[in-house]
Structure 1
């Protein structure tokens, strides 16, 4: 977090608080959306998603303003290592890595839109007797392409994510392996405590009866519930 905070200060000093503030808010919102889609049975708090967005914005700023940097590849390698290390920490339990990923992607796209800088070029003046060249600043073609593409993808992605959240779609039902992006179980830890709860289910029409195997407590719910919600009910029933 300290390294990401330093990156945020650097970006604000270079681009101003307004643009960086917008990226910070957009990244935090994007991280919260992705977290809400995949972690519907838990609550996570913190600004790490927004901070990851600043890291993503710094990466996109490096890419779109590539010619302005002297140590291009050194800066790129450093950023990639920082991103990889911070995301690797997210696979530990009790860390909301979906917020990190959503914030990083949102900040990465927003950086192409808000952090683009015009670059110098020399223009030949034909009517000058000495063939004088004048230096002026303008945006390169690749910067314009990045800006438009990133803006379209960001807006469409946000709209889709908002619709999924409002409809209560569980991302884990659509992506069976995505939970490994948030936590990878090992012999030293478990990703959640839900594995210790075992329940039996009996469906009758549109009603699902859930019975905890350890204490025989029973509850009724709709048969249309997702697997993650049924598992959450099982944990509550057995606790």
Structure 2
């Protein structure tokens, strides 16, 4: 019997052919081919250079028959059975059905087929539970501008209440009538900076009065008028009118800052409560969407525009406060954003109807006494115009002109990185303009791009011209030159439209 190999022997004796290890995986080796034995004068009776020499062609442990040989000998294995028909250990089972013709080569090499399969559920490692972060109020991006404005408005309202308590003995007006907004009297608001036309320019019934005219004092709790115009307006005071004066008297009152300060004043708890509720919800969300500087620009511009429009066409004896005009400008941005992304909303018509109903209700409430509807109208108009200028273009239009869909990029209109077109603003490094060129920005633009930017430019020019005209109109004409515009801010019932008019009573008091 042939000797078996031992781990302790000095030599390794190869097994005889008939005693070869058949337990070797038949799929990972090629069976040795029987070679004819050539006898010679060797003592063992067959051709060999050494009694321990082993032929590599029949060595099952050679690299050729190992698992590594599959990858190293490309072309030695073909799909569809063994190579040598004399190999009695190979299974002639085709791995892939041949073509319709017998001599047709296989279409794909089975060695190059993908061998990665999805693991069974039981074989997969357990994944750690995915904890989704809750998006609550305190987990959102901080809207700094909204929070700062809200804090400032709350502080100013507290100062109003303290001021009212010091002057009248109570933070809420109860005499001679109760303030329905639950706050200080209108005269305290005028003294602290509310928009009040007589403190800003010459108005009929005051500068051209035939006798001395008095105004209610900030600390009044009666219907008596015992203070001068300068005492009522406060701050550094204004020139007091004199009897038999003229509307051309100089110097005239010019507290222009009353177009800005009223955004931080409110007439009561109800007034500031509703405004801050909208500001901390819709306003904060819009700031997170378009960025702080766009939000601040629209907020301040809409608020100022609303007070300028009201100064031209509202009753001249009506004091106006609140950030309603600024919030209507923000509401206009929501309308534009809805229209820009109309095709991507689930229920755009429902959202539009809700917004329209909210705007309509606010305008109707603006017809009530004590509320300035012109601030709402002016703020909404300014928000629409500025929204066209600073918000990103509609998604459908951006696709047609080759721009990315990423919202609110810088005001460059450049092509996004995923577009195949190169950035037209970039120029060679040797250019005298450096990295960007003003002329390259406009090179290669599509006609639709030019049309949309003309719309934006037109909106910007319109608001600038409109603002200039309203300011000139305010200081040029003592009273409104529109005979019907006052109806947009009041209902002609129970004398509501006369409450904001200045007129001279028989005792010389201005009411």
Structure with higher Rg: it is: 2
Displacement after TM superposition at 1:116 (Å): 2.2
- Flag the structure with higher strand content: 1
Question: Does 1:115 pair with 2:391?
Answer: yes
Correspondence list, 1:50-129, <5 A = 50-67=326-343, 69-117=345-393, 119=395, 121=399
With a CA cutoff of 8 Å and minimum separation of 6, indicate the structure with the bigger relative contact order: 1
Contact 1:121 1:136 survives alignment (8 Å):
no
Distance, in Å, in 2 between the alignment partners of 1:236 and 1:65 is 61
Equivalent pairs, count: 192
| 5+ residue gaps, structure 2 | 1-274, 403-416, 421-444
CA offsets 1:45-101 (integer angstroms, 9 cap, x no match):
111111111112222333345455443323222221111111111011110111111
Displacement after TM superposition at 1:115 (Å): 1.5
Distance, in Å, in 1 between the alignment partners of 2:400 and 2:418 is 5
TM-score by length of 1: 0.68
**Pick from 304, 325, 337: which aligns with 1:49?**
325
| 5+ residue gaps, structure 1 | 125-133, 195-227
The corresponding residue for 2:492 is 185
Displacement after TM superposition at 1:143 (Å): 4.3
Distance, in Å, in 2 between the alignment partners of 1:71 and 1:162 is 41
Displacement after TM superposition at 1:122 (Å): 8.2
TM-score by length of 2: 0.34
Structure 2 CA distance for partners of 1:152 and 1:193, relative to 1, 3 Å? closer
Contact 1:57 1:109 survives alignment (8 Å):
no
Secondary structure of the corresponding residue to residue 368 of structure 2: coil
Distance, in Å, in 1 between the alignment partners of 2:354 and 2:506 is 43
Contact 2:331 2:383 survives alignment (8 Å):
yes
RMSD: 3.2
Structure 2 CA distance for partners of 1:122 and 1:55, relative to 1, 3 Å? closer
- Flag the structure with higher helix content: 1
Displacement after TM superposition at 1:152 (Å): 1.7
